[in-house]
């Protein structure tokens, strides 16, 4: 992937990494893969808001970026497993930092399917993901 130059940025490497790690659902996929290899169906089940197409596209993207290894295991039925490479595992520090920020600033409902928000107007119209905060 080619990036524009970020010479004027105070954090040029962070600016260059952002398009990779900020891609929708990539951090969540990495988070699940940090605990070990997973099958596509495991990832899909554990990330219920992601579509199969988007998850497939992201896994292909992560594979092309050298973050994920795709392993086909023979048997009946054939199984496809995904695991993080060293490059992908290094994102653990980013995931931990996001978790720390989230603990401070977000309120994630555990058992509720609906976001906790101060008002309906405060909620983005196109999301049903329970990550809104009651400020």
Domain boundaries, the chain: 12-90
The fold for domain 12-90 equals Arc Repressor Mutant, subunit A (1.10.10)
- Alpha-carbon span 47 to 23, nearest angstrom: 15
How, if at all, do strands 79-84 and 38-39 pair? Answer: antiparallel
pLDDT tens-digit series, residues 28-62: 999 999 999 999 999 999 998 999 999 999 999 99
pLDDT tens-digit series, residues 75-105: 999 999 999 999 999 999 999 999 999 999 8
- Alpha-carbon span 107 to 98, nearest angstrom: 13
What's the confidence (pLDDT) of residue 48?
A: 87
- Alpha-carbon span 20 to 12, nearest angstrom: 14
**8 Å CB contact between 100 and 86:** no
């Amino acid at each position: 992937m080619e990036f524009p130059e970020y010479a004027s940025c105070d954090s040029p490497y962070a600016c260059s990494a952002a398009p990779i790690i900020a891609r929708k659902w990539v951090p969540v996929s990495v988070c699940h893969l940090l605990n070990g290899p997973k099958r596509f169906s495991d990832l899909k089940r554990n990330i219920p808001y992601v579509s199969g197409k988007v998850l497939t596209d992201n896994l292909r993207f992560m594979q092309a970026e050298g973050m994920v290894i795709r392993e086909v295991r023979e048997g009946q039925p054939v199984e496809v497993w995904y695991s993080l490479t060293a490059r992908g595992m290094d994102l653990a520090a980013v995931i931990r930092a996001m978790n720390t920020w989230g603990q401070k600033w977000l309120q994630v409902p555990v058992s509720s399917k609906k976001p906790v928000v101060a008002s309906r107007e405060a909620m983005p119209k196109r999301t049903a993901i329970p990550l809104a905060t009651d400020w």
